[in-house]
Amino acid sequence: MARPPQLDNLLKVDSWLGDFQTEICRRYGVFLQYKKKIEDCGGMDRFTQGYKEFGLVVQTDNSVL
Instruction: Give the mean model confidence (pLDDT) for residues 51-63.
Output: 85
Q: Return d(Cα 20, Cα 40) in angstroms, integer.
A: 30
Express each pLDDT in 7-50 by its tens digit. Answer: 999 999 999 999 999 999 999 999 999 999 999 999 999 999 88
pTM: 0.74
CB within 8 Å of 41: residues ≥ 6 apart? 47
Confidence at residue 58, expressed as pLDDT on a 0 to 100 scale: 86
Q: How far is CA 59 from CA 10, 23, 34, 55, 63, in A?
A: 47, 44, 31, 13, 5
Confidence at residue 51, expressed as pLDDT on a 0 to 100 scale: 81
